[in-house]
Structure 1
Amino acid sequence: MHFSKFALLALFTPVFSADLLQVRDYADFQISDGVAGNALAEVADKFPVAEFRADLAAVSAADLEILKTARETAEAAETEAGGFNDAIEAAGGKNTPEGQTLQVGKIKNKVLKLELQVLALEIEQAQGEDNQAKIDEEQTKLDKNVATDEASAGEASTSVDFQG
């Protein structure tokens, strides 16, 4: 009996992780509505952060790609047309009542974006890339935004109707 190298590899390669994520619209994974103070936990409610961190090397390529795409979408919801920056400006700035709730939502969105960025970088690191400096840089940004979110605990938070 003759097996190709690929067939043998397929027979003897253990399956480490089933895909845990599905592609969703931004509206389905955003965390900016509600109140400030618990953004990091809200990210964990939307994404299987703990499951991924339990074995970073085993995260599937498909899940990693979805994490990266979700991060890019969260960033676009901040900076692109129709995103937080535009909405805050249209509300008269972050010192107006509407602008303030949008600013709180923007910080929560930054926590989402940065937590997904750090997680993706940690996965890539565990899978052989050397990107510790970038992890450290993004973790510093994440820590700053988590602290801002926690300092605003209980304040109203508003999302944007971003299509992504």
Structure 2
Amino acid sequence: MYFNTSLLLSLTLAISSLALPMTGTPDDDKVKRAGVLTVQDYADFQVSDGIAGNALAEVQAKFPIDETNLANVASTDLAIIKAARVTAESAETDTGGFNDAISAAGGTSTTAGAALQVGKIKNKVLKLKLEVLGLQIDQAQSGTDNTAEITAETTKLNSNIALDKKAAGQTSQSVDFQGDDSP
């Protein structure tokens, strides 16, 4: 039996091309990624312990969201980000939070109070970064214009990042605050 080599090659290429996965479809950018975050206690996602100077990087390590593709952030991740922001704010202002702890330590002029104040600033970086990130994700996914709010919160975030960097090397103390980031 005689086979035409060029016909066989053409058929093989045609069949092989059908078996290849399709990429670059118009709906690719609408596919949500699987969530990368899990629900944690405040003690596990807080960044206030340790040393000042690198709070933003610490927050980004705890919340590793791909900020280059916010439209595709999983809804579960967005819910955790929003809940974590609320908890971080509560850790600052609610009973048993930073404000109470600093007062109980005798204010920021004491060693314990100063370390708590440094921790409070790092907690503000956490809270504000999550606020900005949540607003940016909402905007990217819904088309809602959050520009003014993002700008205002980014200004506060940058101010607290600068305070954290100014305190670089200083001891930072967290508070024993009960809460989590469950939506």
Give the TM-score normalised by structure 2. Answer: 0.80
Q: What is the percent sequence identity of the aligned residues?
A: 62
Decide which of 97, 100, 111 is 1:97's aligned counterpart: 111
Give the gaps of 5 or more residues in structure 2: 1-26
| Correspondences of 1:56-135 after superposition (within 5 Å) | 56-127=70-141, 128-135=143-150
Q: Does 1:48 align with 2:48?
A: no
SS in 2 for 1:154: coil
Q: Which amino acid aligns with 1:133?
A: A
Decide which of 149, 152, 157 is 1:137's aligned counterpart: 152
Instruction: Give the distance between the partners of 1:70 and 1:16, measured in 2 at CA.
Output: 21
Decide which of 134, 155, 164 is 2:170's aligned counterpart: 155
What RMSD over aligned residues (CA atoms) do the two structures have, in Å? 1.2
Once the two structures are TM-superposed, the CA of residue 89 in structure 1 deviates from its matched residue by 0.3
SS in 2 for 1:54: coil
Once the two structures are TM-superposed, the CA of residue 94 in structure 1 deviates from its matched residue by 1.1
Decide which of 12, 17, 20 is 2:36's aligned counterpart: 20
Once the two structures are TM-superposed, the CA of residue 116 in structure 1 deviates from its matched residue by 0.5
From the CA coordinates, give the structure whose radius of gyration is larger. 2
Q: Which amino acid aligns with 1:91?
A: A
Instruction: Give the distance between the partners of 2:38 and 2:144, measured in 1 at CA.
Output: 25
Instruction: Give the distance between the partners of 1:45 and 1:138, measured in 2 at CA.
Output: 20
Match in the other structure for 2:3: none
Instruction: Give the distance between the partners of 1:15 and 1:134, measured in 2 at CA.
Output: 27
- Paired residues, what number? 151
Q: Which amino acid aligns with 2:106?
A: G
Instruction: Give the distance between the partners of 1:141 and 1:95, measured in 2 at CA.
Output: 24
Give the gaps of 5 or more residues in structure 1: 1-11
Instruction: Give the distance between the partners of 2:132 and 2:60, measured in 1 at CA.
Output: 13
Instruction: Give the distance between the partners of 1:134 and 1:112, measured in 2 at CA.
Output: 17
Once the two structures are TM-superposed, the CA of residue 16 in structure 1 deviates from its matched residue by 2.1
Once the two structures are TM-superposed, the CA of residue 118 in structure 1 deviates from its matched residue by 0.5
Instruction: Give the distance between the partners of 2:42 and 2:97, measured in 1 at CA.
Output: 11
Instruction: Give the distance between the partners of 1:31 and 1:126, measured in 2 at CA.
Output: 27
